[in-house]
Amino acid sequence: MNQLSGRVAIVTGASSGIGYETAKLFAKEGAKVVVTGRRQDALDKLVNEIERGGGQAIAVAGDIREEQLARALVDTAVDRFGGLDIAFNNVGATGESVPVPDMSAQAWHAVLDTNLTSAFFGAKYQIPAMVKRGGGSIIFTSTFVSHTASFPGMGAYAASKAGLIGLMQVIAVEYGSHGIRANALLPGGTDTP
Ligand SMILES: NC(=O)c1ccc[n+]([C@@H]2O[C@H](COP(=O)([O-])OP(=O)(O)OC[C@H]3O[C@@H](n4cnc5c(N)ncnc54)[C@H](OP(=O)(O)O)[C@@H]3O)[C@@H](O)[C@H]2O)c1
């Protein structure tokens, strides 16, 4: 218990599933959490649950494809909770399931923007805040899909999630000497909304 006492965390994709439960666990372990997703009502429910359990959380609703949201999340962590130690960049969407030749450019970009470009926006603002704290932990939710097994119709999803692993490895070598750890989670099939 209280493994994260005094820490401040951002959790994306927090209005549902893995992100929702992670935000609750981080708070239970003592972290102050900034949670985000598009659905304000789901975030409000999460913040209420955390506060009822004695924790502290702030919801910042928005679309993860917008760079300004990444900045607002870090500003909230710093202004309201004093800094940033942990960023769980967990948001993800599978997009439409079609074979590669049938995939529209629009569908491709929608998945890449949600899963990969959002992680770049996040890291861009999270890393300087962590450097100011003397270190931190940045985590991306990738997937087992196309790493240990693959499925038809998931070209954009698999490419975006593989991209997260490349981004993570570069951050590790760029900022390891600043005390920042970079990791990717590759969950297996998980029963979520
Ligand atoms: N479940 C699995 O079997 C599994 C397996 C491997 C990897 N993963 C990965 O694990 C992560 C979490 O998955 P999950 O199953 O917990 O997903 P989920 O229940 O579908 O939740 C997805 C979350 O992402 C948010 N989101 C999606 N698009 C967004 C956007 N444009 N802007 C802001 N927020 C957005 C949703 O919030 P709003 O709807 O409120 O916007 C929601 O909070 C994802 O990255 C997923 O790819 C899941």
Average pLDDT score over residue span 139-167: 96
How many Å apart are CA 37 and CA 42, to the nearest integer? 8
| Per-residue pLDDT tens digits for 39-65 | 999 999 999 999 999 999 999 999 999
* pLDDT confidence bin for 146, thresholds 50/70/90: confident
Question: Is residue 133 assigned to a domain?
Answer: yes
pLDDT for 34 beyond 80: yes
pLDDT at 56: 98
Given ligand 1 and candidates 10, 15, 20, 161, which is best to mutate, with the most ligand atoms within 8 Å of its CB? 15
Farthest-apart Cα atoms in the chain, separation? 51
DSSP-derived secondary structure letter, 113: I
Show the tokens assigned to 56.
């502290």
Question: Is residue 191 assigned to a domain?
Answer: no
Kindly give the distance from the C-alpha atom of residue 172 to the centroid of ligand 1, in angstroms, as a whole number: 24
pLDDT at 145: 95
Question: Is residue 15 assigned to a domain?
Answer: yes
* pLDDT confidence bin for 92, thresholds 50/70/90: very high
Show the tokens assigned to 120.
């770049």
Which is nearest to 14 in space by CA: 49, 67, 3? Answer: 49
Q: Exposure pattern of 38-70 as b/e (b: 16+ CB <10 Å)? A: eeeebbeebbeebeeeebbbbbbbbebbeeebb
Q: What is the dihedral angle through the alpha carbons of 129, 132, 32, 68, rounded to the nearest 10 degrees?
A: -10
Share of the chain above pLDDT 70, in %: 99
Residues whose beta carbon lies within 6 Å of some atom of ligand 1: 13-19, 37-39, 42, 63-65, 90-93, 114, 141, 143, 187, 189-190, 192-193
Kindly give the distance from the C-alpha atom of residue 72 to the centroid of ligand 1, in angstroms, as a whole number: 20
Which is nearest to 126 in space by CA: 166, 100, 88, 176? Answer: 88
Given ligand 1 and candidates 64, 91, 96, 151, which is best to mutate, with the most ligand atoms within 8 Å of its CB? 91
Question: Which CATH number covers residue 38?
Answer: 3.40.50.720
Question: Is residue 3 assigned to a domain?
Answer: no
Q: How many structural domains are present in the chain? A: 1
Question: Is residue 1 assigned to a domain?
Answer: no
| Per-residue pLDDT tens digits for 63-82 | 999 999 999 999 999 999 99
Indicate if 157 belongs to the active site: yes
Question: Is residue 181 assigned to a domain?
Answer: yes
Residue nearest to atom 47 of ligand 1 (CA): 92
pLDDT at 154: 97
Question: Is residue 171 assigned to a domain?
Answer: yes
pLDDT for 155 beyond 90: yes
Show the tokens assigned to 110.
């929608």
Q: What is the mean pLDDT of the chain?
A: 97
**What phi and psi values does residue 157 have, to the nearest 5 degrees?**
-60, -50
pLDDT at 86: 99
Q: What share of the chain is helix, strand, coil (3-state, %, to 5)?
A: 50, 15, 35
* Residue span of the structural domain in which 95 resides: 8-185
Residue nearest to atom 24 of ligand 1 (CA): 13
**Residue at token pair 């994306």:** 12
